[in-house]
Amino acid sequence: MNDDNTYLSREKFDELTKELEHLKTVRRREIAEQLEYARSLGDLSENAEYEEARNLQAATEDRIRAVEEQLSRARIIEHTKGNTVSLGSHVTIQKVGEKDEHLYEIVGSAEANMQEHKISHLSPLGSALMGKKKGDSFSFDTPKGAQKYKIVGIK
């Protein structure tokens, strides 16, 4: 996969598109109003309101650029149902010798979030899973050493 791409779910792509629209319309207008008010207070050289509004404007423009860049490189993950782990797969794994099972969704690095059980396809676990099939065993390195797992299911 081309590392210049940002792999996103349809939901994340839509979320970023909505955020960008909000930043460009609502947030820019709010900041323009804050700047106008701050200018009306007089001397700009020692005007805390003006300085704060300028900082907000810079942060907002930085975020707009970052989201635009991410969207311009976005590739929507089109998960095809199959028996091989790929981006968009929901994979159930089990550590060899244990009964507990763990379910993870394979996502692009921009969406990775361990609290939501979303792992990047580029992470040690994600890259070890890519291309594997149900029933396959695999191992990957962790701070505790190499860990061996088995794929129990793929959706």
Chain segment 107-138, per-residue pLDDT in tens: 999 999 999 999 999 999 999 999 999 999 99
**Residue 42: predicted pLDDT:** 82
Secondary structure of residue 134 in the 3-state scheme: coil
- pLDDT for the residue numbered 46: 82
Work out the average pLDDT over 94-118. Answer: 95
Mean pLDDT of 33-53: 89
The structure's pTM equals 0.77
Which has the minimum average pLDDT: 33-37, 65-69, 79-83, 142-146?
A: 79-83
Closest CA to 119 of 87, 145, 148, 146: 87
Of residues 135, 138, 100, 107, the one with CA closest to residue 123: 107
What average pLDDT does this structure show over 76-80? 80
Domains of the chain: 6-76 (1.10.287.180), 90-154 (3.10.50.30)
The whole-angstrom separation of Cα 21 and Cα 153 is 39
> What's the pLDDT score for residue 1?
46
> Residue 141: pLDDT above 60?
yes
The number of C-alpha atoms within 13 Å of 1 and in the hemisphere containing its C-beta is 17
Looking up tokens 């921009």 gives: 110
Q: Is the pLDDT of residue 45 over 90?
A: no
Question: pLDDT category, 69, cuts 50, 70, 90?
Answer: very high
pLDDT at 47: 86
